[in-house]
Structure 1
Amino acid sequence: MPSSSPKFDRRRFVASATALVGATGLGLPAWAQKAGRPEKESLKFGFIKLTDCAPLVVAYEKGYFEDEGLNVTLEAQANWKVLLDRVIDGQLDGAHMLAGQPLGATIGFGTKADIVTAFSMDLNGNAITVSNAVWAEMKQHLPMSGGKVVHPIKADALKKVVDAWKKEGKPFKMGMVFPVSTHNYELRYWLAAGGLNPGYYTSTDNSGTKKADVLLSVTPPPQMPSTMEAGTIHGYCVGEPWNQQAVFKGIGVPVITDNEIWKNNPEKVFGVTADWAKANPNTHVAVIKALIRAGQWLDASMANRVEAVKMLSKSQYVGADAEVIGNSMTGTFEYEKGDKRPAPDFNVFFRNFATYPFYSDAIWYLTQMRRWGQIGEGKPDSWYMDVAKKVYLPEVYMQAAKALVAEGKIKETDLPKTDGFKGVQTGFIDGIDYDGRKPNDYLSKFKIGLKAAEKV
């Protein structure tokens, strides 16, 4: 697997370590304590070749890890399962993860392990793409304005295509990257909002296709375009640059971005095992400090985004053409070839408190796990809150962020004033509002999906 070679400046480490040594308790809340010297200096972090690995890449390339006394190596991983397994067995100290991975592992869906996160890597960044043939059928049912399709595109138009295929006995297949991925839940959310059942997981069938109108299966992100081109799937939900790649190759059309499905949705997190976090509290804070700075740098200017695109295009990172990566990283998004539209919020790495690990974000993912049967039975609202607090560590984030404020690297106003919830959230494609404090009430609002004590 390609990896970035470690960079280390011993003098900067000594200076940084000396500056970090301080009090570690005295009854103060975690965020008010000054972190001491990192317990572990040499670290290896994993990532998948997607543009939202950017905070890790930037923290490495700009020397932010070094500033915290850390000697970091970044290593691309083959797929999300391999990445998670290598964090669990200690081959990796931590990794760029799907937001659902720490939650899924903690509740025992798939691999069972206690994984925690203190950092949200970004907001938005995914899209749903269909093949040219499917697009040609969908487009007949879409409203036009000024010669262009009106966005956002709802799945109602796809339902007409799927229904027609069903009459002909043809199954409709789509790809997503992992069972507990944001992509799986976003794709399911969009399909269900348009009247299509994406299927259920059961205790005896983990394919997630029970009662499905659309058959979803797992495909690694870089393989999405070629798998669709081969006709194995007819569309997919994936992160960048693999939607824009379909446009550049002329094989498909992105029909909707994830922020049009759920405005400002959390996408990836930085995950470590709970045991690692307990054994290396100072190191953990130092890592989060570097990542917060990277997120801030990414959102500070368009010039920084252009520089980040060049970094990400390197073979050891995303390895796609800079032009393809830049198509979604620099404020625009191209749908049908030539239909490039402004998309200033498609990738957000710091604005809107993007890096803070909100409990309400964790609970949203848990509601979707319950909705589609990955959580097989009803749970009280308190259960959702307990799991969120076990997995999400805002106190670690605040300790890192407060240290950066004290150092003059970020502003106090960059930090949210919150109890871990964003309040009632709007901006969903189906018009349903979300209150993270009331997960069961939220689930009861959906026409398609499990609720209360229902089972498949």
Structure 2
Amino acid sequence: MKWTQVFRRAALMLGLAGAVGLHSTQAVSSELGYPEKEELTFGFIKLTDMAPIAIAYEKGFFEDEGLYVTIEAQANWKVLLDGVIDGRLDGAHMLAGQPIAATMGFGTKADIITPFSMDLNGNGITVSNEIWEQMKPNIPKMKNGLPVHPIKADALKPVVEKYKADGKPFNMGMVFPVSTHNYELRYWLAAGGIHPGYYAPHKGDISGQIDADALLSVTPPPQMPATLEAGTIYGYCVGEPWNQQAVFKNIGVPVVTDYEIWKDNPEKVFGITRAFAKKYPNTTVRITRALIRAAMWLDENNNANRPEAVKILSQSNYVGADYDVIANSMTGTFEYEKGDKRAVPDFNVFFRYHATYPYYSDAIWYLTQMRRWGQIPEDKSDDWYKELAAKVYRPDIYAAAAKSLIDDKLASADQFPDFDSEDGFREPQTHFIDGIVYNGHKPNDYIDKFPIGLKAGQKL
């Protein structure tokens, strides 16, 4: 342990953190209680949206809480989830769908919770150069000759139909069966009339390819560009920097971002076991405090800290991609076709728009997509969706952390939801690529609106 860590630990135990002026902040509130577990190991996947963990470490926010953290990259999402479940990892950067699916029992059964949503947006869908050339005649152009955005899957549908007519499977990649990327890719395809396939776990079919026009399969994020270049897949949905990497390597074209599919969609969460939160409640709140502060730092002053964040993330122990590749999307722009760079200031959002608050309605949206594509094989009541969301998403822990930051004058109340009136549900959301409105209070009504997907009473 570094001498500074020993010093901070001693100061925290003596209640002197404010007096000795650790960093430039005030003392953490002694009312929180000391962390029951101080030495922690967190896992992550090499994606830019792991940034709150890296920043909480690099800026000393974990140490301010008396937490001495080791951060370890994981090979894939399953290895990461297994590490949290078996205790090798104390917590991790997770797909928003992972804690929900685990608690529900789809895949590995485990009680995983999240007190902190890590970001909004951050993904894209990329196709190979060959597929892009076939799509381009179907895409409207602006006066300058560049494509009109957002590009809908309608432009891809004739390409997929031709492959199908020729007896060729149209293969696409996503990162995990319960990933945001899987559901966003499916949403985009289905909105353009391309069926992405059903799951039938009750029949032992977890391929997700039943009745599919496009065949989706799992590829780990850092391997996406190489898999595309090899011709194994014709397109993929992934987080950054692996869409921009395809542009830099000149092997593919990002055609749409998830910001255009669902504006300000929740992307990753920080996941821990329910048992961890119960055994170490003070530690859990302190972890959440550190992550909130990191998210604030990432967005403050109109993203002024992003260049420094990109430099940190480009290190090999974090994302390990070139600075320019990461900066291409994380500093307020996004490059589609080579040379077609456009301003997308909200491509990565870490704190504004209440990005870090774990809304029940966010969890319910993922559950509606699990039901839509057969991962939940039978109808469930609206109350079932709400009850499961409340088991997994923990705004109570988040509120305790945020209120303590306000008390310590490290944040202000106007930066957070009104905790006295907040019910955990966003207002009905309208900014979807297909124009369908999502109301988290009425999940079954929402599911039944889609032309493609399972409806009430349907079962494969």
TM-score (norm 2): 0.94
TM superposition shift of 1:170: 1.2
Q: Where does residue 127 of structure 2 map in the other structure? A: 130
TM superposition shift of 1:453: 2.0
Q: Which moved more, 1:294-303 or 1:428-437?
A: 294-303
Q: Where does residue 327 of structure 1 map in the other structure? A: 328
Kindly provide the amino acid, as one letter, of the partner of residue 232 in structure 1.
Answer: T
Residues 375-428 of structure 1 show CA distances to partners (whole Å, capped at 9, x for unaligned) of 010000000000000001100000000011111111101111221001111100
Question: 1:11-410 alignment to 2 at 5 Å?
Answer: 11-19=7-15, 34-145=31-142, 146-202=144-200, 203=202, 204-301=204-301, 302-410=303-411
Contact 1:20 1:35 in 2 (8 A): no
Q: Where does residue 413 of structure 1 map in the other structure? A: 414
Kindly provide the amino acid, as one letter, of the partner of residue 289 in structure 2.
Answer: K
Residues 148, 6 of structure 1: alpha-carbon distance in 2 compared, 3 angstrom cutoff: farther
TM superposition shift of 1:303: 3.4
For 1:93 and 1:139, the matched residues in 2 are separated by: 47
Kindly provide the amino acid, as one letter, of the partner of residue 158 in structure 1.
Answer: L
SS in 2 for 1:396: helix
Contact 1:263 1:428 in 2 (8 A): yes
Residues 171-225 of structure 1 show CA distances to partners (whole Å, capped at 9, x for unaligned) of 1010000000000000000000000110000022100000000000000000000
Residues 17, 197 of structure 1: alpha-carbon distance in 2 compared, 3 angstrom cutoff: farther
Q: Where does residue 29 of structure 1 map in the other structure? A: none
TM superposition shift of 1:8: 5.3
SS in 2 for 1:97: strand
Kindly provide the amino acid, as one letter, of the partner of residue 379 in structure 1.
Answer: K
For 2:283 and 2:454, the matched residues in 1 are separated by: 41
Residues 29-56 of structure 1 show CA distances to partners (whole Å, capped at 9, x for unaligned) of xxx9932100000000000000000000
Q: 1:10 aligns with which of 6, 11, 26?
A: 6
TM superposition shift of 1:153: 0.3
Residues 191, 180 of structure 1: alpha-carbon distance in 2 compared, 3 angstrom cutoff: same
For 2:38 and 2:161, the matched residues in 1 are separated by: 57
Residues 97-116 of structure 1 show CA distances to partners (whole Å, capped at 9, x for unaligned) of 00000000000101110000
Kindly provide the amino acid, as one letter, of the partner of residue 391 in structure 1.
Answer: V
TM superposition shift of 1:7: 8.6
TM superposition shift of 1:14: 3.0
Kindly provide the amino acid, as one letter, of the partner of residue 376 in structure 1.
Answer: P
Q: Which moved more, 1:69-78 or 1:446-455?
A: 446-455
Kindly provide the amino acid, as one letter, of the partner of residue 371 in structure 2.
Answer: R
Kindly provide the amino acid, as one letter, of the partner of residue 32 in structure 2.
Answer: A
For 1:212 and 1:359, the matched residues in 2 are separated by: 30
Contact 2:373 2:454 in 1 (8 A): yes
Kindly provide the amino acid, as one letter, of the partner of residue 395 in structure 2.
Answer: P
Unpaired runs of 5+ residues, structure 1, are 22-31
TM superposition shift of 1:91: 0.3
Unpaired runs of 5+ residues, structure 2, are 18-28
For 1:7 and 1:154, the matched residues in 2 are separated by: 55
For 1:129 and 1:8, the matched residues in 2 are separated by: 45
For 1:362 and 1:442, the matched residues in 2 are separated by: 14
Residues 144, 214 of structure 1: alpha-carbon distance in 2 compared, 3 angstrom cutoff: same
For 1:270 and 1:364, the matched residues in 2 are separated by: 18
TM superposition shift of 1:269: 0.2
TM-score (norm 1): 0.95
Q: Where does residue 24 of structure 1 map in the other structure? A: none
**1:436 equivalenced with 2:432 (yes/no):** no
Q: Where does residue 22 of structure 2 map in the other structure? A: none
TM superposition shift of 1:16: 3.1
Contact 2:15 2:30 in 1 (8 A): no
Q: 2:427 aligns with which of 423, 432, 452?
A: 423
SS in 2 for 1:426: coil
Residues 78-109 of structure 1 show CA distances to partners (whole Å, capped at 9, x for unaligned) of 00000000100000000000000000000010
Q: Where does residue 454 of structure 2 map in the other structure? A: 450
Contact 1:118 1:397 in 2 (8 A): yes
For 1:45 and 1:20, the matched residues in 2 are separated by: 27
Contact 2:127 2:235 in 1 (8 A): yes
For 2:64 and 2:457, the matched residues in 1 are separated by: 51
SS in 1 for 2:272: strand
Q: Where does residue 25 of structure 1 map in the other structure? A: none
SS in 2 for 1:174: strand
Residues 293, 17 of structure 1: alpha-carbon distance in 2 compared, 3 angstrom cutoff: farther
Cα RMSD for the two superposed structures: 1.5
For 1:225 and 1:20, the matched residues in 2 are separated by: 50
